[in-house]
Structure 1
């Protein structure tokens, strides 16, 4: 279940002379793996908990901040618009998983936090999420996971450095 076209591009890149497109092949493989895992996580969250991945992500952010977050801070953390966050929060409030409160430091701002029921539901989902990730990565040996993490840290630093370099 990969993205349409990803396999076609990988096939074209594979036909290039050895070494000439290795970074492109790496990027396509990373994208393909991320898309496969994400699609399966989305499916399982929907099937087992009736929750979307964005709702899970909102609850994860709120779980990290038991005293709550301002809506603007939450939207920045999730890199989505305030409108998207408002819609997600509305549904979570309706289900009794999140509560809104006026921010004591700024009464114009709203703070949201998980309810006790929301925290309990999130812990159940997070536990299942961790099992699913372990299952999907189960074919990798422990030492391979360590090497891959180290290599991806290096890749992340390299990508970050390239973003800061002027053209």
Structure 2
């Protein structure tokens, strides 16, 4: 017997995807217009900001779930703009460590503050109870989470 909620769950997925795509497009435009940057560049800077001591290029690729080539291309531009620096490890010159420069830290912090405000505006129609309820629902949908309502 088919699941009676199957079609409704499919419609829910399409609605979630639509909200996600719309929000992402808005944030991409916001970063481009207000900070002359891209979402991938913002994501790389966010990862480097979280790991202030820096990471290897391979670690960065894994953190962002992107290829080494994609991460390298973004880091190339950040380094050219003085926002990141690469340093070969003294013990293995083939391994390159990347970190934000002081200028990169300041630039990212300004972008992040504005990004948070933009996200806040996007979801301003949601009150505290709705944010809490939606967060709990989405947490219960994590892959591998088979217990209804589990976190």
TM-score (norm 2): 0.90
Q: Are 1:28 and 2:14 matched, yes or no? A: yes
Unaligned runs of 5+ in 1: 1-17, 163-167
Determine which structure has the larger helix proportion and give its number. 1
Please, which moves more after superposition, 18-27 or 84-93? 18-27
Structure 2 gap ranges (5+): 147-151
Tell me the alpha carbon deviations over residues 64-117 of structure 1, each in whole angstroms, 9 at most, x when there is no partner. Answer: 011101000101111111111111111100000000001245332000000000
Helix, strand or coil at the partner of 1:160: coil
Change in Cα spacing, 1:29 to 1:105, as seen in structure 2 (3 Å) is: farther
Structure 2 residue aligned with 1:82: 68
The residue correspondences of 1:1-167 to structure 2 (distance < 5 A) are: 19-156=5-142, 159-161=143-145
Q: Per the alignment, do residues 94 and 144 of structure 1 end up closer, same or farther by CA in structure 2, a change over 3 Å counting?
A: same
Structure 1 Cα separation of the partners of residues 5 and 72 of structure 2: 47
Aligned to 2:149: none
Count of aligned pairs between the two proteins: 143
Q: What is the distance in 1 between the residues matched to 2:125 and 2:24?
A: 17
Separation (CA, whole Å) in 2 of partners of 1:66 and 1:20: 45
TM-score by length of 1: 0.82
The 1:20–1:51 alpha-carbon spacing in structure 2 relative to 1, beyond 3 Å, is: same
Cα RMSD (Å): 1.4
Give the 3 Å change call, closer, same or farther, for CA 105–149 of structure 1 in structure 2: farther
Q: Which runs of 4+ in 1 moved over 3 A?
A: none
Offset of residue 161 of structure 1: 4.7
The alpha-carbon deviation at position 52 of structure 1 amounts to 0.4
1:160 positional shift: 2.7
